[in-house]
Amino acid sequence: MKIPKNIVVLSVVSFINDISSKIILPLMPFFILSLGGTGLAVGLISGLSESIVSFMKIGSGYLSDRIKHKRFLVALGYFVSAFSKLLFAFASSWQHVLIFRSGERTGKGIRSAPVDVLISKSSEKGKKGAGFGFHRAFDSAGAVLGSLIALLLFFYFHLSFQQIFLIAGILAFFSIIPIFFVKESDEPVKKISFKKGISSLSNPLKLFVLSSAVFALGNFGYMFFVLRSQEAFSLGLAIAMPIVLYTVFQLSSSLISFPAGKLSDSVGQKKLLLFSYFLYILTNLGFIYFKSFFALILLFIVFGIVYSLSDSMQRTFVSNLSSEKFKGTSLGFYHSAIALTALPGGLIAGFLWDFSQEYTFWFGIATTILAIVLLLAVKEQIELK
C-alpha cells in the first residue's frame, strides 16, 4: 500500500526526534542514580514528567479541533522538547533531571494530539491502523539507532553523560525542519465549546480510555526493566549490557509496528490489545523469576512487542471510536487520562522498588488484569463519522 505523504513526513520527524531521545533515555536511570537518586526518584521522574502535561494534552487536542494550522502546534511541541533535552547537559542533581524531563514531556504534550489528528485525517479509510503503525515503526527505528549511538558514545568514545546529552539536544532541533513540508487540509474548522467536545465523547470511548489509563498505571516504562537487568551482569558490563538489551527492545518494537498496524485493520485493535496486555503480564512474570542473559533478551523482545502494540493500537482504537469533528478532543482526552495515571503509577512502582523489586512487577500484573477486564467490556465498532 502507498503511505500518504503527510504520514511519511511526520514519521521522518519522529525518526529524527527519537534518535535524539534514545541517545538520552537508556542512560537516564544510571544518570539519576549517579546524581544520588533512588528507585523512588526514578519513579517520581518517570511519573511526574508525564502527569505535568496531562491537561496540556487534552488542551492541545481541543485546539486541534478548533484551529486550522495544526502544524504550528506540532512544531512548537518539538521545539520545547529539543530545548529541554539540551538542558540535560547542565543537570547537576536528580531534581534538575526532574525539571528538564518534565519540560521535555511538556513538548510531547503539546504535539501529541495534533500529530495523531494529522495521521488520522491523512490515512485512507479503513487503514488508520497501518498509518499509525507506519509512524510507530519510524519512531522505533529512530529509537534503535539512538540507543546504538548512546552505546558508541559512552563506551567507545568514553564521553560523559553531559557530553552525550549535549549532542542529543543539538540533534533534536533537526527534527523540526521536515514539519514545514506537512500539508494541512482546507476543510473549515467548526467552533465547538470545550464542554460540548468532552460531552460528545461516546460511552465506549470513555470506557476504553478508562481501561487504557488502568493499564498505564502499571505500565511503568522501561527504566525499572533496565535497572533489573543490570543485576545479571558484572560491574564492567553493568551499564553496557542493559543498553544492548534496551536496543533489542527498540528493534523488536520497530519490526512489529507496521505489520501489526496493517493486521489490526483486518482483525481489529481490540484483539491485538488484549494480546499485548497478556504479553505484558508474561513480561513482568519473567522479570520476577528469570535473570539469565538469554531470558533477558527474550523478555526485552516481548516488551518491545507490548510497547509497539499497546501504543499504536490504543491511538487507532480511540480514533475509530470518535467522530470526525471531535478526533482532536478524543485523542487529547485519551492522552490526558494516560498521563494522569503516570504520577501515581510511577510513585507506587518506585516505592515498591525500594521496598522489594518483585513487588513492582506484581503491581504491573495486577493493574493489567484489571485493564483486561475493562477492555473486554468495550464494544468494538466501525469508525464514526
CATH number at 120 reads 1.20.1250.20
Asked if the model's pLDDT at residue 54 lies above 50, the reply is yes
Distance of CA 384 to the CA centre of its chain: 25
Reported as a pLDDT band with limits 50, 70 and 90, residue 279 is very high
Q: What is the pLDDT of residue 191?
A: 61
Which range among 44-48, 230-234, 351-355 has the greatest average pLDDT?
Answer: 351-355
Question: How much is the average pLDDT of 336-345?
Answer: 84
Percent of the chain with pLDDT over 70: 92
Residue 134 is which amino acid?
F
Does residue 185 fall inside a structural domain? no
User: How does the average pLDDT of the chain come out, rounded?
Assistant: 88
Q: Is the CB of residue 278 less than 8 Å from the CB of residue 286?
A: no
Give me the number of domains the chain comprises.
Answer: 1
Asked if the model's pLDDT at residue 58 lies above 80, the reply is no
HSE value, Cβ hemisphere, 13 Å, CA-based, for 140: 29
Q: What is the pLDDT of residue 53?
A: 67
How far is it, in rounded angstroms, from Cα 314 to Cα 320? 10
Does residue 250 fall inside a structural domain? yes
Residue in the structure block whose three cell numbers are 487507532:
316
Distance of CA 204 to the CA centre of its chain: 23
Q: What is the pLDDT of residue 315?
A: 80
Does residue 382 fall inside a structural domain? no
Does residue 190 fall inside a structural domain? no
Q: DSSP 3-state assignment of 233?
A: coil
HSE value, Cβ hemisphere, 13 Å, CA-based, for 203: 2
Q: What is the pLDDT of residue 265?
A: 82
Asked if the model's pLDDT at residue 385 lies above 50, the reply is no
Q: What is the pLDDT of residue 328?
A: 74
Q: What is the pLDDT of residue 199?
A: 67
Q: What is the pTM of this model?
A: 0.85
The residue among 284 and 315 whose pLDDT is bigger is 284
Question: How much is the average pLDDT of 74-97?
Answer: 97
User: In the structure grid, which three cell numbers stand for residue 157, read together?
Assistant: 568514545
Find, among 265, 374, 247, 248, the residue nearest to 312 by Cα: 265
In this predicted structure, which of 11-25, 219-233, 370-384 has the lowest mean pLDDT?
370-384
Question: How much is the average pLDDT of 86-112?
Answer: 93
Q: DSSP 3-state assignment of 47?
A: helix
Segment holding 275, helix H or strand E: helix 269-289
Which range among 46-55, 60-69, 217-226, 317-326 has the greatest average pLDDT?
Answer: 217-226
Asked if the model's pLDDT at residue 194 lies above 80, the reply is no
Which range among 87-91, 127-131, 311-315 has the greatest average pLDDT?
Answer: 87-91
Find, among 216, 197, 182, 207, the residue nearest to 328 by Cα: 197
**Sequence-separated contacts (24+) of 104-108 with Cβ below 8 Å:** 104/49, 104/80, 105/49, 105/50, 105/52, 105/53, 105/81, 106/52, 106/53, 106/56, 106/80, 106/81, 107/76, 107/77, 107/78, 107/79, 107/80, 107/81, 107/82, 107/83, 108/53, 108/77, 108/81
Residue 74 is which amino acid?
V
Domain residues for the domain of 225 are: 5-178+196-376
Which range among 40-54, 95-109, 193-207, 255-269 has the greatest average pLDDT?
Answer: 95-109
Asked if the model's pLDDT at residue 93 lies above 90, the reply is yes
Does residue 219 fall inside a structural domain? yes
Find, among 324, 374, 95, the residue nearest to 197 by Cα: 324
Does residue 184 fall inside a structural domain? no
In this predicted structure, which of 258-262, 343-347, 368-372 has the lowest mean pLDDT?
258-262
CA distance to 11, 101, 133, 164, 320, per residue, from 313 (Å): 17, 26, 8, 33, 10
Does residue 90 fall inside a structural domain? yes
What are the residue ranges of helices labelled H in 88-221? 94-122, 128-155, 161-172, 194-199, 203-218
The residue among 94 and 55 whose pLDDT is bigger is 94
Give the pLDDT confidence of 23-51 residue by residue, as tens digits: 999 999 999 999 999 989 999 998 887 77
Asked if the model's pLDDT at residue 306 lies above 60, the reply is yes
The residue among 62 and 16 whose pLDDT is bigger is 16
Q: Is the CB of residue 340 less than 8 Å from the CB of residue 58?
A: no
Neighbours of 231 (CB within 10 A): 10
The residue among 52 and 191 whose pLDDT is bigger is 52
149: CB partners within 8 A, 6+ apart: 19, 23
Q: What is the pLDDT of residue 384?
A: 46
